[in-house]
Structure 1
Amino acid sequence: MSPIAVAVVVPVHDEAALLDACLAALTAAVAHARRTHPGIRVAPVVVLDACTDASEQIARSWPVGIRRIDARRVGTARRRGVEAALAELGDPAPEDTWIATTDGDSTVPLAWLSHQLDLRAAGAEVVLGTVRPDFADLTSAHTAHWLATHPRGRPAGNVHGANLGMSAAAYRAAGGFPDLDEHEDVETVRAARAAGARVVATDVNEVTTSGRFEGRTPGGYAAFVHATHQRISGQVSP
């Protein structure tokens, strides 16, 4: 059996304030996966999309591949990252390859990648992981609301590019990440489902994402956080 090849992709647009923490966590998770799954080959790639801040300098201080583009589209960034990582791995056979993605404003837990690989071994072709906002960015009321509406052990199965994994075979069957400004993750999973991929939702190894209200895409996770804050702020005092 061929060793599993793993492509890890991180799209970045002006995330200098958060990127160091992102890549520190990712580097630890990759090292952990190499210990728990001996023989795997991992190619983490950061895609710098139209960055005008210090993101590139920060990325270069970590053991990651770097690609620069000027698309201002997260779908394009994610797709180019997959292409670059697979090329770095030598274009391995799809059945022996796993693709994982997170975001430049997010931190993954230590067992993030190894858990995805365990689910792959159990038959998963797409893994939908949960994401929670950084509670340090929220009011106490917002934090309490989030905890109350996300009971542990009952993942909603929402699609988040910040915590997503899939086999290269499922990725190819889905046509890859489309060149979209947002929701490229949702469209890719939709296409993978339509192609018959086995989709597994998990809230183990939850990814923490910035709780900011203004994100890099109009309808991304930041918009969800902001809408939730507005909804509860009229009901519960911070």
Structure 2
Amino acid sequence: MRAVAVVIPAHDEEALIGLCLASVTRAVAYAREREPGLVATVVVVLDACADSTPAQTRRWPVETVEIVARSVGTARRIGVAHALATLDARPEDTWIAMTDADTVVPRDWITHQLDQMDAGIDLLLGTVRPVFADLSARHAAYWRATHHRGRPPGNVHGANLGIRASVYAAAGGIPDLVEHEDVALVRATRALGARERASDVHEVETSGRFTGRTPAGYAAFLERVHVWIDVPSLAAPGA
């Protein structure tokens, strides 16, 4: 028997959490159709939420954990620990799939990761694309021109990151960081010599907002690119 644990940190995501959980629920159902014996759990970690995110989350077939850490690293770490404690499978047969509450995953998001697990991969770096409707036309065109299907760059995104549970444990797990917790985990995993692969087959779609929930997350990256592309005077030296 093998298992998959989906972990999603959430802080005040009432506008987007429903779309996220709808897509994750569909991906879990699709994986179970293909593999009836698959054990799966979805854990949403509600971190210091002051809006309706908790109420909306509980409408879905997921586990919830409430914390007040205001730290995405802590939220992911607690979520993984909670998920693994509920699964009755060996760590080497358990896959951890991470995403974010402002992200929509494709139907084959889990099945593709399990295929990589079957191929001996321990760490999977998935690609992320922004919601183009949230961007300017120039920004969206730039993204399309610089991202080519079949050539994943191997960037680290907590919104699309998968890892074998035994390797996760050996790497020390996700550290309690308010940002770049995903990068720290990947660095520790690489130090172990784990088998790694980058893939855009299971690419996810993340909000194109410029104000995110972490200081240096995907939203901050999009804002920097936007300033550089659409407001060149602000990006110029000395501006």
| TM-score, reference length from structure 2 | 0.95
- Tell me the SS of whatever aligns to 2:120: coil
- Tell me the SS of whatever aligns to 1:17: coil
Task: Find the counterpart in structure 1 of residue 139 from structure 2.
Answer: 142
Task: Find the counterpart in structure 1 of residue 97 from structure 2.
Answer: 100
Does the aligned pair in 1 maintain the 2:2–2:90 contact within 8 Å? no
Partner Cα separation in structure 2 for residue 234 and residue 44 of structure 1: 40
Q: Which runs of 5+ in 2 are unaligned?
A: 233-239
- Tell me the SS of whatever aligns to 2:178: coil
Task: Find the counterpart in structure 2 of residue 88 from structure 1.
Answer: 86
| TM-score, reference length from structure 1 | 0.96
Which letter maps to 2:54?
E
Query: 5 Å matches for 1:16-165?
Result: 16-90=14-88, 92-165=89-162
**Over residues 69-97 of structure 1, what are the superposed CA-to-partner deviations in whole Å (9 max), with x where a residue is unaligned?**
0000000000000011111114x321111
Compute the displacement of 1:107 (Å): 0.5
Task: Find the counterpart in structure 1 of residue 210 from structure 2.
Answer: 213
Which letter maps to 2:106?
P
Partner Cα separation in structure 1 for residue 22 and residue 227 of structure 2: 32
Does the aligned pair in 1 maintain the 2:44–2:79 contact within 8 Å? yes
Task: Find the counterpart in structure 2 of residue 168 from structure 1.
Answer: 165
Aligned residues: 232
**2:193 is the counterpart of 1:196:** yes
- Tell me the SS of whatever aligns to 2:36: coil
Partner Cα separation in structure 2 for residue 89 and residue 53 of structure 1: 30
Which letter maps to 1:20?
G
**Over residues 177-229 of structure 1, what are the superposed CA-to-partner deviations in whole Å (9 max), with x where a residue is unaligned?**
00000110010011001011111000112110010001011100000000011
Partner Cα separation in structure 2 for residue 36 and residue 227 of structure 1: 41
| RMSD (Å), alpha carbons | 0.8
Partner Cα separation in structure 1 for residue 231 and residue 49 of structure 2: 37
- State the percentage of identical aligned residues: 60
- Tell me the SS of whatever aligns to 1:62: coil
Runs of 4+ in 1 over 6 A off after TM superposition: none
Q: Which runs of 5+ in 1 are unaligned?
A: none
